[in-house]
Chains A and B, each alone.
Chain A
Amino acid sequence: MGWKEYFLAALFVNIFQMAIAFVIFSLQDVLPLNPQGFPGLSWDSAFMQVISFGTNTNLQHYNGEGLCNQLPNCAALTPGVPGLSYLSQMMAVQFLQFTSATTGICVAVAMIRGFITHSKDLGNFYVDFTRSLTRILLPLCFVASLVFVGLGTPQTLTGYQIVKTVEGATTQATQTILVGPVASLVSIMQLGTNGGGYYGANSAYPFQNPSPASDIFQIFLMLLIPTSLCFVFGQLIGKKRETRPILWGAYALFALDLLIAFTPNLPVVGPGMEVRFGGFFSTFWTVVTTAVTTGSLNASLSAVNPLVILSAFNGMLIQATPGGKGVGVMYMVMFIVLTVFIVGLMSGRTPEYLGLKITARDVKLVMIAFLVHPVIVLIPMVLAYSTGAASAIGVGTNSVGFTKIFYEFTSAAANNGSDFLGATANTPFFNVSTAIVMFLGRFTPIGLLLALGGSMINRKRLTTEAGVRTDSPLFSLILVGSILVLVLLTFFPFLALGPILGFFQGRVNGF
């Protein structure tokens, strides 16, 4: 397939998958496996959620478990805050988590194929999809799911368990134990860098993340495939040294994020954190989850220091540290082409990458791909404030409120999915606006970068490598520098008004 055919096939499959999930979300009240009797999702909520899962974002404006925590049954649901049936968790959430992660691997490999010498096309999407799913994701998730069950994550289709508590021996108090098919979801949500949890509290909820061991295992799963894909790049193009700028660049920026996050001090357990993880793993998780744009959380974002939030923003604004499944590598190649171009301009050499001359069209493609991000983050932010949608859900116009709204759209655009707002953002404005942002943030850069890969096919290779060597440590250094300059130039004023201002206002116990 050429890039257009490949892109269309990916888009079509994804849209059909999202359409199926939309029907399941909307009709979950009449479909089977709904022991708690949850009502169907409203149209805007279902629309937003299928785009959220279908774009690998996993922003969640609902609590999967409903609000049944201490209720003997789910009759008293808070209106407007939907819960999900077991069928929706399986055939809508887990389903789209698998397919969006698979799509990410496919489009990354397709783009890389364009850079291979003598390649004829970008491959066949249908073949790539089937292979990535059946040979990588399903086997890995099978093992990971059973590990999670062994560590304490439930996996059952029977309804919530109602038990009489210890004090219930005298007071008759009961507790509802919120079980479900959790483990099979947790494996793909972490391995697929999706991040959408079974529960509203995500991986802070003990069933989803029972122990320090499961916490570390989830961090490992998040990093596994995005890091592997850096090596896939060098392998596929037949020049393993070319993995270096992608890998080194990604991990240098990741290290910088860690440095920022841990600057205040080694954090201790505070409100909004879980005792079994402690301050260190809560902070470390928050950096990792944004560095690979997973978006799962093991602590409340409101609990962490503003500098940790700043570090999280860095991950989501760069999207290549090492970034989401597949798209992380694509973004890094985008930054490399930009850097090669800038270095070429400064040194007066013809810009070239892998022996390929970088043309004006290539630079236009990567520039547009880069600029999509600020456009779809900043415009809806302005709308959220100017239409009163932000104040309608109780978000203020101070550094805290600004950070929350900025984070919401950054997370949506970066297909990350962590957020401050959660179910409070289940309003038509936030559902529709974030849905549009997520869709554009996913498929525009993928289309543009597939076009970049496609245009490399049959391009003449320069025999004498006169350009800048991209496998040297110096180039990685310049790459990191130019990424920081590009991203900071674009977003610094907004970061300054949000987390940086929050830090200087002394909001050390978070927001």
Chain B
Amino acid sequence: MTPIVEARQFGVQIGGNAVLREVNLGVRRNEILGIIGPAGSGKTTFLRCINRLGDLEPSLSTTGTLSLDGTDVFSPGTDVAALRRRAGMVFAVPNPLPRSIYENIAFGPRLMGTRSRDRLDEIVERTLRASVLWDEVKDRLHTSGLKLSGGQQQRLCLARTLALEPQVLLLDEPCSGLDPISTAKIEEAMQELKKQLTVVLVTNNVKQAARASDRTAFFLMGEMVEVGDTGDLFTHPRDKRTNDYISGRFG
């Protein structure tokens, strides 16, 4: 089977500086791919290119190709809004919109024109269950999303993204500010979710990648140094730089 996300000789320049250089990386269907690397290694930029959120940086330009399910995401005809529904993203900082829990989740479906109350109710319940939040909020769906705790907010953001019914879930350091219990709940949700979709998990936390991902890729200074099964990469890294990083010598 072809990879769901595939980068070939993919490079990114922002304001003339190369942020990513000649990345070759395929993400397999229904896997959790962890991406690790120190700050400034280009891992978040890579993630934000998959759903073209990088476009918000006007000076960004790319070389090579990056494709989602066989189509080039940077081709001129791309419907960016549709692309972003297929590759849903959860950000590092929980960022619910200033409206109710229900409306946060209904936001995406409503953009698509879903009006039916029954249909929206069903989506809200299903996504909240999938993100392990339903039991905590089912009695207060119409209170502000901003009133939840940080960990709950992040799970709400996950549910909101799932409501788009994406093929790929892009997680940008989703647990960086969370307590261990919330982190565990999100990791639990990921394991369940990979049955239907593919997860790309960017993380600063090497242990999280080791725990949660099937395969892991290591990025350093704009370069994809190596990728492999998580077990192999952490026990027998091929590259010395990978070894230095995972054993905590820098970053």
Does B bind A? no
